[in-house]
Amino acid sequence: MLSAAAKAVLASVLPPGVTPLHVFVYASALLLLALLVCADAAMRWFVAQQRGLAALVEEVFMEPAAGGAQGGGQQTAAADKAPYLSVVVPAYNEENRLPTMLDETLGYLLRRAS
């Protein structure tokens, strides 16, 4: 706890009826409020940054097949662009297997393209 000298100093500084516990509670509340304001500002900044990323995404449209709903849909991008493919390969410390997998995948895709 506090020594007698510290209690005397606090008693001389604090207004009558205000205890160190009151000061602690109010200081804690102010600190929590400041933390919430900073968290809100950080969240708003992050959301604003994410909105800019939406402009980088290329739009892809689904066109209905000629046969109606039976044939499913066909994805088409802009007519003047060549199609491209993204392949996501989950790998963790796969130094030995990854080159072989890439060779096999590329070979398969090249055969399918012909």
Domain ranges within the chain, ordered by starting residue: 4-54, 58-113
Longest dimension (CA), the chain: 92
Q: pTM (2 decimals)?
A: 0.40
pLDDT digits 0-9 by tens, 39-94: 999 999 998 888 777 667 666 655 555 544 444 455 554 555 666 777 788 777 78
Cα dihedral 104, 107, 112, 114 in deg (nearest 10)? -170
As a whole number of Å, the end-to-end CA separation of the chain is: 83
The answer to whether residues 63 and 73 touch, using CB atoms and an 8 Å cutoff, is yes
70's tokens: 């039976």
Q: Give the whole-number percent of the chain exceeding pLDDT 90.
A: 18
- Check pLDDT > 90 for residue 32: yes
Type of residue at 21: L
96's tokens: 């030995």
- For residues 10 and 44, the model is more confident at 44
- Check pLDDT > 90 for residue 3: no
Distance separating alpha carbons of residues 92 and 102, to the nearest angstrom: 15
DSSP state of 16: T
